[in-house]
């Protein structure tokens, strides 16, 4: 059910790309994440690549060297496209075969001469969205976040009765998901100021981020046929970081009775490198948040294998930097650190629930975890939680203070996995900067 540790995770592997071995590198040869890139200067087509150290391996360019065979070759042949959808649809045995072949190739000095012309320095490239996203679904799977957010509205009863029985979710807006580095203007929207009786149409005053992990769906299921919780793992291609930007004032005014809509749909940012479930095998761990007093999931959402290794032990961090901090040469300030093990529901349970009514998930669909928060201060994944809904301010090292985000604030998420006996792997950054609001009917000043 859960992919096993194999030779591609061996910490003794030596890659002939030197930068892959730098201490703290996100992309050692044990990682091998997939993304969609092109050289910035040239008018090139986007295509699929694999990150290795500070380089990108142009997978379809390697095809000509004749180093792929069998299922690995079939998978590599999917990589000439400007999106990972075809590779995602190719299924887990082909993903694995390509990973094994890439690992061997990058550790075999004798093919370095043939392969190295297919490496592009990351600094020369730009990235685009990993996939054409058909559906984007956002869950609410961090019980600490659900409790923290719920307690702002229902202090005595923060968790709703369904929370421990099913992974609550809503449909997000796929068209406005962009890759890390795409800045966006502060959105306008309708909001009801405190004490007012007439709403305003104005730029949001409560712009927030939400720290999430997004899972990318691989093979599709047929409409009308559910995916069992034990089969769900094979539907997951990999994960990225995800910033579910949120306008809290728009959201508060619009969300009854049908849920979030324009408070979310102006922008969502994902990191460009998809860390595969194969790469994450060494970091799987028990699903520890569910305690003995919690109800056992219904059988269709339950699995012994998930109890043992269903969670992913990933360390996440949120940093913010204001314009003044940047101008004065300050580093971004860390606002929170937490761990993906705090999820009450695993991604397999999310997929099993999502498809339990027969709903079809398709290759390239994106499934967000929901905001990731821990139990206490320093672990919250949104400003809503850090400032208790804007009631408290916090200080930046520049002497400025914040409740929600100001214009020109840059928000950056990073994450990594580490475990004794294995090589640390990272996700790369998910970052974007809030540009000032503009008249809503003018075209934006940034590339969208």
Active site residues: 145
Q: Is 151 in the site for its own copies (CB under 8 A)?
A: no
Nearer to its own copies among residue 42 and residue 442 (C-beta):
442
Q: Is 116 in the site for its own copies (CB under 8 A)?
A: no
Q: Is 253 in the site for its own copies (CB under 8 A)?
A: yes
Site for its own copies in 300-339 (CB under 8 A): 300
| Residue 225: CB minimum distance to its own copies, A | 5
Pairing assessment for the beta strands 333-339 and 315-321 based on DSSP bridges: antiparallel
Q: Which one among 124, 255, 394, 422 touches its own copies, defined by CB under 8 A?
A: 255
Q: Is 158 in the site for its own copies (CB under 8 A)?
A: no
Report which of 314, 315, 311, 317 is spatially closest to residue 290, judged by C-alpha positions.
Answer: 311
CA distance 73 to 82: 18
Q: Is 130 in the site for its own copies (CB under 8 A)?
A: no
Q: Which one among 17, 36, 169, 207 touches its own copies, defined by CB under 8 A?
A: 169
- Count of H-run helices and E-run strands, the chain: 13, 27
* Cα separation values, 181 from 127, 272, 410, 412, Å: 9, 9, 10, 10
* Cα separation values, 250 from 178, 226, 267, 427, 444, Å: 21, 35, 14, 31, 20
Q: Is 198 in the site for its own copies (CB under 8 A)?
A: yes
Report which of 393, 398, 429 is spatially closest to residue 411, judged by C-alpha positions.
Answer: 429
Q: Which one among 80, 82, 181, 199 touches its own copies, defined by CB under 8 A?
A: 199
CA distance 231 to 99: 21
Q: Which one among 37, 68, 188, 344 touches its own copies, defined by CB under 8 A?
A: 188
Q: Is 436 in the site for its own copies (CB under 8 A)?
A: no
Report which of 176, 289, 290, 177 is spatially closest to residue 241, judged by C-alpha positions.
Answer: 177
CB 285 within 8 A of CB 341: yes
Q: Is 162 in the site for its own copies (CB under 8 A)?
A: yes
Report which of 175, 179, 136, 176 is spatially closest to residue 46, judged by C-alpha positions.
Answer: 179
Q: Is 444 in the site for its own copies (CB under 8 A)?
A: yes
Chain-centroid distance, C-alpha 168: 18
CA distance 106 to 53: 11
* Cα separation values, 58 from 180, 242, 360, 406, Å: 20, 25, 32, 39
| Residue 153: CB minimum distance to its own copies, A | 8
Contacts of 76 by beta carbon, 8 Å cutoff, 6+ apart: 59, 60, 62, 63, 68, 98, 101
Pairing assessment for the beta strands 184-185 and 430-435 based on DSSP bridges: parallel
Site for its own copies in 346-365 (CB under 8 A): 353-354, 356-362, 365
Select the span of 11-19, 90-98, 110-118, 251-259 touching its own copies (CB under 8 A). 251-259
Q: Which one among 21, 73, 173, 324 touches its own copies, defined by CB under 8 A?
A: 173
Q: Which one among 175, 194, 329, 391 touches its own copies, defined by CB under 8 A?
A: 175
Q: Is 378 exposed, middle or buried (0-12, 13-18, 19+ CB in 10 A)?
A: exposed
Q: Is 128 exposed, middle or buried (0-12, 13-18, 19+ CB in 10 A)?
A: middle
Q: Is 155 in the site for its own copies (CB under 8 A)?
A: no
Nearer to its own copies among residue 11 and residue 224 (C-beta):
224
Binding mask 273-302 for its own copies (x = CB under 8 A): ----------------------x--xxx--
Nearer to its own copies among residue 28 and residue 263 (C-beta):
263
Site for its own copies in 55-114 (CB under 8 A): none
Q: What are phi and psi of 384, to 5 degrees?
A: -50, -45
Q: Is 261 in the site for its own copies (CB under 8 A)?
A: yes
Q: Is 344 in the site for its own copies (CB under 8 A)?
A: no
CA distance 372 to 354: 20
Select the span of 173-181, 320-328, 394-402, 423-431 touching its own copies (CB under 8 A). 173-181
| Residue 336: CB minimum distance to its own copies, A | 23
Q: Is 176 in the site for its own copies (CB under 8 A)?
A: yes
Q: Is 181 in the site for its own copies (CB under 8 A)?
A: no
| Residue 9: CB minimum distance to its own copies, A | 32
Select the span of 22-30, 35-43, 46-54, 167-175 touching its own copies (CB under 8 A). 167-175
| Residue 417: CB minimum distance to its own copies, A | 29
Report which of 32, 47, 12, 168 is spatially closest to residue 101, judged by C-alpha positions.
Answer: 32
Q: Is 394 in the site for its own copies (CB under 8 A)?
A: no
């Amino acid at each position: 059910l859960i992919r096993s540790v194999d030779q591609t995770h061996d910490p003794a592997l030596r890659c002939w790309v030197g930068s892959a071995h730098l201490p703290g590198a996100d992309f050692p040869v044990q990682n091998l994440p997939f993304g969609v890139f092109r050289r910035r200067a040239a008018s090139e087509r986007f295509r699929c690549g694999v990150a290795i150290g500070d380089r990108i391996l142009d997978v379809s360019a390697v095809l000509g060297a004749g180093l792929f065979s069998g299922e690995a070759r079939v998978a590599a042949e999917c990589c000439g496209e400007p999106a990972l959808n075809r590779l995602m649809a190719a299924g887990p045995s082909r993903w694995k075969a390509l990973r094994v072949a890439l690992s061997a190739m990058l550790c075999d000095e004798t093919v370095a001469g043939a392969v190295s012309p297919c490496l592009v320095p990351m600094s020369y490239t730009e990235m685009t969205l990993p996939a054409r996203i058909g559906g984007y679904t956002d869950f609410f799977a961090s019980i600490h976040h659900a409790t923290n957010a719920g307690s702002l509205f229902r202090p005595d009863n923060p968790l709703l009765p369904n929370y421990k029985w099913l992974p609550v979710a809503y449909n997000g807006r796929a068209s406005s998901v962009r890759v890390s580095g795409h800045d966006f203007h502060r959105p306008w929207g309708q909001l009801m100021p405190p004490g007012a009786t007439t709403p305003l149409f104005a730029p949001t005053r409560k712009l927030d981020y939400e720290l999430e992990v997004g899972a990318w769906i691989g093979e599709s299921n047929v409409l009308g046929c559910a995916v069992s919780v034990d089969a769900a793992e094979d539907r997951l291609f990999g994960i990225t970081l995800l910033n579910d930007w949120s306008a809290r004032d728009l959201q508060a005014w619009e969300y009854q009775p049908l849920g979030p809509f324009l408070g979310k749909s102006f922008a969502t940012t994902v990191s460009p490198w998809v860390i595969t479930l194969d790469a994450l095998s060494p970091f799987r761990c028990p699903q520890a948040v569910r305690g003995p007093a919690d109800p056992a999931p219904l059988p269709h959402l339950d699995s012994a294998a998930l109890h043992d290794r269903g969670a992913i032990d990933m360390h996440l961090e949120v940093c913010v930097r204001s314009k003044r901090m940047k101008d004065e040469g300050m580093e971004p300030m860390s606002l929170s650190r937490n761990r993906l093990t705090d999820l009450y529901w695993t991604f397999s349970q999310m997929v099993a629930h999502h498809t339990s009514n027969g709903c079809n998930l398709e290759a390239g669909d994106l499934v967000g975890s929901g905001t990731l928060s821990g139990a206490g201060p320093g672990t919250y994944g949104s400003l809503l939680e850090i400032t208790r809904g804007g009631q408290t301010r916090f200080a930046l090292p520049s002497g400025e203070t914040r409740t929600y985000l100001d214009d020109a604030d840059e928000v950056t998420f990073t994450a990594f996995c580490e475990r004794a006996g294995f090589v640390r792997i990272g996700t790369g950054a998910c970052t974007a900067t809030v540009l000032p609001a503009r008249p809503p009917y003018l075209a934006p000043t940034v590339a969208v």
